[in-house]
Structure 1
Amino acid sequence: MKILYLDCFSGISGDMTIGALLDAGGDFSHLQKELQKLPLQDEYELKVHKIVKNGITSTKFDVILKNGEHVHSRHGHSKHTHKHSHDHDHKHHHHDEDDHHGHTHHHRSYRDIVKMIQEADLSEKVKSIALSIFKKIGEAEGCIHGVPLEDVHFHEVGAVDSIIDIVGTAILIEELDIDYIKSAPVPTGSGKIHIDHGIYPVPAPATLEILRGVPIAQSDLKAELTTPTGAAFAAVLANEFCDLPSMKVMKVGYGAGTKTFPDHPNVLRIILGEQA
């Protein structure tokens, strides 16, 4: 049986997961080709490169968003992301009718995203994994904002980012032929973050809601280590939470986050192995 262990000692986010899966042998050209089956090709570009984080060579995966004349990388100070520059994939998905100050961002509803994934020419396994993860995020956002799941809206740019991270992860899990997923307890970090609604504690409300039922690991780092997307990966994909299990190690992958800490590599390590 082929096991994937999520060693999320520095938290988990969408881009860290894809970076780690690519680093462990996932095929980037296959990922690109499969993602082109979604009607989003004109909205983004993918970028992958090696980066050294505190002495560890890891793979950094980026979704560069094309929005009119602007290219929003995930480090943008734009309205649909956090107001600070180092946190990228916290696509806190709001249903509020806020004023976009002349921006032409639209919203994508949960219903729209489900329809898009269902209608794409992707395998049933990829669709099933992606829809389960989106449902987990949508339910959490609906719970926090007090709206039914079907009425949850995702800021367009955040939604594109989420869709790529979530469907992309499903594509790579299928490609790597993984039978069973285990995860370490999930550290969320501590401190405060700025999101569209104001200053919030870490973990952000949606992240904490998604992690209901998941073992959380205490962390003194004053940063948001786990994002809603990353939390949903752990909550939906992992069949159990444990220390490193008995297995014959085949591949190890390191996916880089955007933060840099003085004495702590901000990477997600994944371990692929065989278990009898």
Structure 2
Amino acid sequence: MKAIVQMASEQVLNRKEYIATQITSEQNKNYPTELKDKTDELFPLRVELVTIYAKSLALREEEAEKSIEAWGVETGRMCARLETTLDSMLGEVPHYRKYIGEVLKEVAIEQQIGIEELYELISKLDHAMNLVVYYFSVPFVEYQTNLLEQSRNEILELSAPVVPIMEGVAVLPLIGTIDTYRAKLIMEESLNQSVRLRLNYFVLDLSGVPIVDTFVIQQLFQIIEALRLVGVEARISGIKPEIALSVVKLDISFKMVNTYSTLKQALADLVIQC
């Protein structure tokens, strides 16, 4: 059986370019917009993977897994950087099974091996493919997850822009919903910029906030209190009728905070005081 396995491995290696070409053709047809323009980058990776499969047939299970793991870590990240999709990449697996399986069938017929020997060959191939899927997918998903988190952080940083208006005065125009993560970011940015800019007054403008509920109000009061502790007086503008009604229904008092219906009114009042 060892000689048969070695022969099958060599036959697959001899046809690695052909198999990679066939898989490239199939994938470009199935995913023309995702993969066709990446053919030059993906083709050598496919040749390398066919090589991995061929060698895994002749290797002990532990050795094959180490080889596949090393390949998966590097190639998974590389394909993610190429902006392929996991769906399109995993869509290649049946093609490898098909074309490598054909080689194994030819070897079985030529060498007249029995069902048990053929089953053993196919089982080794299936095991290798399962390992490839796992070791490729993990770094691929990790890379994309980290990229999404980085993009999310960048977007959130842009969502808390502190704008200096005049000496000692800055405005934070809030747009969109406020969740726990964003509230924490707003708090940090408000305090850091207030100290850096040596502010006396800080205006939180709610004109672009669609919903003001108990959570948002609590977060606002925490920000106002934190600013007070560093010597900055916070004011709130953009109190629309619906926001005023929500505050009244929530039975929350803004008596200790200056509030304005528009940012223009808040700034006009500060100009007089400054």
Q: State if a TM-score over 0.5 links the two structures.
A: no
- Whose helix proportion is higher, 1 or 2? 2
- Whose strand proportion is higher, 1 or 2? 1
TM-score (norm 2): 0.23
Greater RCO (Cα-Cα under 8 Å, separation 6 or more): 1
